[in-house]
Every structure is written in structure tokens, then in C-alpha cells.
């Protein structure tokens, strides 16, 4: 499949410091960039097909990224080490300092990606996977694979199949694709991201954060966060927070003599009746009945 990447891109304050090393393949273009970015530099990228960027150094202190606008007036986050961008998703970047960086760009035809994923996870799950953005900060194996691709781009010696197989491995690792009972592909938050979120939630008395605040805590956009959060926990962010509040209420019911109205106020409910309704929905019983059952054990 002959393929030329289709991308609209504009940059200010970013310049290459070495010739771009690239190679085409079956529905694939691999390109290695070495560049220098000035403080205040900006970039805009919009591709009609999926693409992957792997950075070889930690860019989180120098670059920020947004899917909303180039002024970074709305949500933005530190640049991850590796990012998968679905087709048609715009990306803005901004540099906070002058620095040099290198990264591998992988442009993939969406049909090529579907052809790789579908035999293993099914066509519907594959289509869902390529529409799901992924960002990770812990790249380990992906960085090794990307480095092998860069070596081959620098000194070509192997068949095109070699790079194609390495790219396929990066895709499988980055997209966190595996077969589940429901046949859906999953992109998940890392344990480190979940730990950051738990720490942030535990700082609050009533355990309540907006979805935007939860996303900011782990360095993701709100829409991307909501998508992968449900894949990770099986709940929406608000359902998950509600379950944590009820868990806290159970602890207070079991370990203190606080009244139910006091517990309701302690965990941020407006009144006892509202707390009782929500507790029953989540725990299957009223707070009073739950406490009696626990005390009888």
C-alpha cells in the first residue's frame, strides 16, 4: 500500500538541527527528527491518519500539549514521552524553554492499522482502538523499539519488514490492546497515574473533584481522561468518586459512633436523606441497616 502522510502542520520557533531521516513502508512512514525549540515556540498538527510520536528525552518540563487551542487558555498538559493521536484530532504544542530534542514520528494509514489489529481483537474493537487517544510517560520497551527503528533509518541494512514489525510492536504496546470478555480493546491509565489521582482525591475532605481536575492531576485532557478512565476502572470518574465516598462512609459507620447525619455532612452530602438514597444505591442497604449488620458480625 503506497502511502504519503497527510498532515497540516505549522511551527514557529522550532528548527531542525539535522537532516530528517525517514523511510516509507506498507501503509507506513517513519521519520526521525532532531530539532531545537526556542522559548515560546509553538506548533500545530492535524493528520488525516493515525500517528505516533515517541520522544527520546523527558519533555514534560519543556513542552506542553493541548487538543483545544494554541493559546493554552483551556486544558493543557505536560508533553508525554509517547503519544498516539487518532485521525482528525488536532494537536497544539508550546515550548516553555529553549532546548533541543529528538523524536520518532510514525504515520500509519488507518487501513494498515486495522489490518494489523482486526485478526487479533476483531474489527469493531480494532476500530474503537484506533479512535482512542493514548498518552504515556513511562516508555521503557517502546523507547527501545523506537531506538531500533532510528538505527535502521540512520544506516539502512534490513528489509522493510524489519521496521514494520517494530512499528507493530510499538502499536501493540502503546495502545494497550488485548482481548477482554466483552471483546473491546482497552487503553488504560498507568498505575503511577492512578496513584497520583488517589493521592489528589485523598487530600480532599469530601473526595470530590471535577472531571477536569481529575484529568489535570494525571496530565491528560478531560475527554481523553474520561475515555481511558472507564477502561481502567469500569466506572465513569464521577461514579468512581461516589464509590470512594461511600467506602469512606462505611469506615465511619463501622469505626465511630457518629450519627448518620454527621457522617453525611462529613463526606459532603447536603442532607441525610440524600446520603441514605445514594448509600442504598451503591451498597444495597441503608446506612443504619449496614451499621447494624456490621456491628452484629
Q: For 79-118, what is each residue's pLDDT tens digit?
A: 899 999 999 999 999 998 999 999 999 999 999 999 888 8
Is 196's pLDDT higher than 90? no
**Residue pair 79/64 in contact by the 8 Å Cβ criterion:** yes
The residue to which cell 488517589 is assigned: 198
Average of per-residue pLDDT across 193-210? 77
Residue 145 C-alpha cell reads as 523499539
* Residue in 282, 284, 288, 200 with CA at minimum distance from that of residue 242: 282
Beta strands in the chain (DSSP E): 7-16, 21-25, 28-47, 51-55, 63-66, 77-78, 82-85, 91-95, 99-108, 134-136
Question: What pLDDT sits at residue 74?
Answer: 58
**Residue pair 264/274 in contact by the 8 Å Cβ criterion:** yes
> In 10 A of CB 29, how many CB atoms?
19
What values do phi and psi take at 264, rounded to 5? -55, -45
Average of per-residue pLDDT across 236-250? 88
Q: Give the lowest-confidence range in 144-148, 198-202, 274-278, 287-291.
A: 198-202
Per-chain mean pLDDT for the chain: 85
Confidence of residue 149 (pLDDT cuts 50, 70, 90): very high
Question: What pLDDT sits at residue 14?
Answer: 95
**Dist CA 66 CA 85 (whole Å):** 12
CA angle 13, 18, 24 (to 5 degrees): 105
Q: Give the lowest-confidence range in 36-40, 231-235, 255-259, 285-289.
A: 231-235
Distance of CA 26 to the CA centre of its chain: 27
CA distances from 130 to 52, 84, 124, 212, 262 (A): 11, 9, 10, 24, 48
Specify the pTM. 0.62
The residue to which cell 516509507 is assigned: 24
> In 10 A of CB 6, how many CB atoms?
12
Question: What pLDDT sits at residue 180?
Answer: 40
**Dist CA 236 CA 157 (whole Å):** 48
Kindly give the residue spans of alpha helices, DSSP state H, lying in the chain: 110-121, 123-130, 140-154, 160-174, 191-202, 211-217, 222-233, 237-255, 260-266, 272-283, 287-296
CA angle 19, 21, 23 (to 5 degrees): 145
Question: What pLDDT sits at residue 177?
Answer: 56
The residue to which cell 527503528 is assigned: 149
| pLDDT tens digits along 211-228 | 888 888 887 777 778 878
Secondary structure (3-state) at 19: coil
**Dist CA 256 CA 147 (whole Å):** 57
Secondary structure (3-state) at 212: helix
Amino acid at each position: 500500500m503506497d502511502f504519503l502522510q497527510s498532515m497540516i502542520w505549522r511551527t514557529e520557533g522550532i528548527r531542525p538541527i539535522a537532516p530528517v531521516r525517514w523511510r516509507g513502508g506498507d501503509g507506513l512512514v517513519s521519520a526521525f527528527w532532531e530539532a531545537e525549540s526556542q522559548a515560546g515556540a509553538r506548533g500545530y498538527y492535524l493528520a488525516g491518519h493515525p500517528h505516533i510520536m515517541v520522544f527520546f528525552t523527558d519533555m514534560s518540563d519543556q513542552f506542553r500539549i493541548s487538543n483545544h487551542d494554541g493559546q493554552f487558555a483551556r486544558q493543557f498538559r505536560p508533553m508525554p514521552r509517547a503519544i498516539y493521536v487518532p485521525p482528525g484530532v488536532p494537536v497544539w504544542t508550546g515550548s516553555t524553554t529553549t532546548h533541543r530534542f529528538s523524536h520518532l514520528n510514525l504515520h500509519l494509514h488507518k487501513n494498515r492499522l486495522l489490518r494489523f489489529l482486526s485478526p487479533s481483537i476483531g474489527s469493531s474493537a480494532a476500530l474503537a482502538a484506533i479512535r482512542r487517544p493514548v498518552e504515556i510517560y513511562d516508555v521503557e520497551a517502546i523507547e527501545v523499539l523506537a531506538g531500533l527503528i532510528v538505527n535502521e533509518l540512520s544506516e539502512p541494512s534490513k528489509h522493510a519488514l524489519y521496521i514494520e514489525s517494530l512499528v507493530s510492536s510499538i502499536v501493540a504496546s502503546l495502545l494497550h490492546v488485548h482481548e477482554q470478555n466483552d471483546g473491546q480493546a482497552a487503553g488504560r491509565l498507568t498505575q503511577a497515574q492512578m496513584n497520583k489521582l488517589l493521592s489528589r482525591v485523598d487530600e480532599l475532605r469530601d473526595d470530590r473533584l471535577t472531571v477536569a481536575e481529575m484529568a489535570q492531576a494525571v496530565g491528560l485532557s478531560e475527554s481523553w481522561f474520561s475515555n481511558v478512565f472507564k477502561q481502567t476502572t469500569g466506572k465513569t470518574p464521577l461514579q468512581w468518586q461516589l464509590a470512594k465516598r461511600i467506602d469512606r462512609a462505611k469506615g465511619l459507620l463501622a469505626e465511630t459512633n457518629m450519627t448518620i447525619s454527621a457522617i453525611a455532612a462529613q463526606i459532603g452530602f447536603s442532607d441525610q436523606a440524600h446520603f441514605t438514597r445514594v448509600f442504598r444505591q451503591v451498597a444495597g442497604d441503608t446506612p443504619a441497616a449496614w451499621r447494624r449488620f456490621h456491628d452484629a458480625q
